[in-house]
Structure 1
C-alpha cells in the first residue's frame, strides 16, 4: 500500500504528521509550513483517508506498519499524531522504535474508548447525503446541519467531499469506517507484548477534552517512560486547530 504524502522544507530533521479520523494530511498544512523553515516536513494521508488507499478493513497495527514503510533507520523522524493518527504514531514508535527519534501525541491515549456515538452520527449524516442531487458544496453543508450542528466540525468533514466529473464523492472510506468504528476506538494492547518506547515523548492534551485523563497515566508511563504532558487551556480535542499558535510553539520547542 502506497500512502499519499505532501512535503515541505528541504533541510533539517524530518517531522511527520499523522491526522485523525475523517482528516487528511493537509489538515496539518499550517503547522507543517511553519516548521518547514527549519525542518523537512511530511504530511501523510492515513489509510482509508484522503488520497491513500485502505484495503478491506481498518487495523491499527497494519496502518502503523504501513506508515513505518515511509521511514528509514538512516533518517529517524519526529512523529506527530492526533487522535486516530496519534494511536497510529504510538504504534509506529512501539513497533519500530529505530525509526522514531521523538514522538508527539496530540489528545489521545493508549486506551480503548467507548464514546463513539458522536462519530457514528457524523457517519450516518455523511452517508445519508444524496450526492447525485448536490448542485454545490453549499447544498451539502445545509444537508449536514442536523447531523453535524457544529459549523467547525461540519466544515472539517466537508473537506472530504470531492468533485468527480459532474458529481461528488467522499474521499474517506465511509463504509469501512462505519463497520470498523469500534476498532478505531479500541487499542491493540494484546498485540504489543512487552513493547515500550524509550525515546522522548510529548503529550499535548486539550483542557476540555476527555481523551487524556489522569487514570490513563499509568499506561502512558508504562509504554512511554520518558513522556511529559502539556495541557493547552481553551482547547478541546482539536487542540492544533483551536489553539494553533500555542500548539505550534509547544511543538516547535519539542522538535527543535
Structure 2
C-alpha cells in the first residue's frame, strides 16, 4: 500500500523482488482516490482499511502480510487493529500509530498541482516548471507528476487523483483512530521500518507502538521518509528477515 499521491506503480519493482525472495504472491494495490481506484468523497483510514479488507476477502487471501508506506502504513495499522483475524502480520514503513499534523509541504503540493491543472499543460516538462515553485526536489516533483495523464480525447494533461477531495482530507491524514487505551491491540508480529532522517517515527512514539503492537520489531534505515525508493536493498533485507520462518 502506497502513500499519499502514490500508486501501485511505485511498488512494482520491490513487489517483484519480494515475490522472488519470499516465494509468495505480492499484490500492489491502489488505495481509494489514487491510481486506478474509484474516487470517493470520503478519504480516511477507516474507509481505506475497509477497502483493503474487502480486497482480501474478494481475492480469498489467507493470512496475508500487510505492507504499507506512510498513508499506506496507517491503513495497514488500522486494518490490523480492527480485524486481526484477517491478517498474519504487518510491516509499517515510516509512520506511527499517533495523531500528528501532516507536514506543510502537502498543502503546498495540492496548490501546485491545481495550478498545473488550471494551466492546461500538454507536456510534463511544462508541469515540472510550474511545480518547481512549490517543490525544489526533482525526485519528489517526478513522484507527484506521476499522477498526470491525458484523458481520452484531450490534448492537455490532468491529474488522475481528485485534488479537491484529497485537499479536504489533508487535515485528517495525520490522525489515527485508535490510541493506546489497552483495549485494542494487534498481538501478532509486526515490523516498523523507519527512516532515521525522517521525523515520522521519533524515539518518543516507540512506547506507544508497543502498547498497540506488543510484538513489534523496529528496523532503522539511513533514509528520509522515502525509505523504499532511497534504500530498496536495506528495505528488502529487513522485510525478508522479518518474514522468514523463525528457528
Q: TM-score, with normalisation over the residues of structure 2?
A: 0.91
Aligned to 1:200: 189
User: 1:115-145: CA deviations, max 9, x gaps?
Assistant: 4311111111101114563121111111111
Q: CA deviation at 1:255?
A: 2.5
Q: CA deviation at 1:96?
A: 1.0
Q: CA deviation at 1:48?
A: 0.9
Is the 8 Å Cα contact of residues 132 and 168 (structure 1) preserved in structure 2? no
Any stretches of 5+ residues in structure 1 without a counterpart? 1-17
Is the 8 Å Cα contact of residues 192 and 216 (structure 2) preserved in structure 1? yes
Aligned to 1:45: 30
The whole-number CA distance in structure 2 between the counterparts of 1:161 and 1:79 is: 28
The whole-number CA distance in structure 2 between the counterparts of 1:83 and 1:240 is: 11
Q: CA deviation at 1:74?
A: 6.2
Q: Which deviates more from structure 2 when the two are superposed, residues 200-209 or residues 31-40?
A: 31-40
Q: Please, which of 26, 30, 37 is the counterpart of residue 13 of structure 2?
A: 30
Give the secondary structure class of the aligned counterpart of 1:116.
Answer: coil
Counting only pairs closer than 5 Å after superposition, residues 169-184 of structure 1 correspond to structure 2 as 169-184=158-173
Aligned to 2:51: 66
Counting only pairs closer than 5 Å after superposition, residues 40-189 of structure 1 correspond to structure 2 as 40-72=25-57, 75-130=62-117, 133-164=120-151, 165-166=153-154, 167-189=156-178
- C-alpha RMSD of matched pairs (Å): 1.8
Q: Is residue 240 from structure 1 mapped to residue 228 from structure 2 by the alignment? A: yes
User: 1:19-69: CA deviations, max 9, x gaps?
Assistant: 100000111111101122211010010111111113112121111011111
The whole-number CA distance in structure 2 between the counterparts of 1:23 and 1:150 is: 16
Give the secondary structure class of the aligned counterpart of 1:103.
Answer: strand
The size of the alignment, in residue pairs, is: 238
Q: CA deviation at 1:169?
A: 1.9
Is the 8 Å Cα contact of residues 123 and 157 (structure 2) preserved in structure 1? no
Give the secondary structure class of the aligned counterpart of 2:158.
Answer: strand
Give the secondary structure class of the aligned counterpart of 1:81.
Answer: strand
Give the secondary structure class of the aligned counterpart of 1:45.
Answer: coil
Q: Which deviates more from structure 2 when the two are superposed, residues 53-62 or residues 102-111?
A: 53-62
Q: CA deviation at 1:113?
A: 1.4
The whole-number CA distance in structure 2 between the counterparts of 1:251 and 1:96 is: 22
Q: Which deviates more from structure 2 when the two are superposed, residues 133-142 or residues 66-75?
A: 66-75
Is the 8 Å Cα contact of residues 182 and 212 (structure 2) preserved in structure 1? no
Residues 1:132 and 1:214: Cα distance change in structure 2 (over 3 Å): closer
* Superposition misfits of 4+ residues, deviation over 6 angstroms: none
Q: Which has the higher strand share?
A: 1
Any stretches of 5+ residues in structure 2 without a counterpart? none
User: 1:123-178: CA deviations, max 9, x gaps?
Assistant: 11101114563121111111111111100100000000011132222111211111
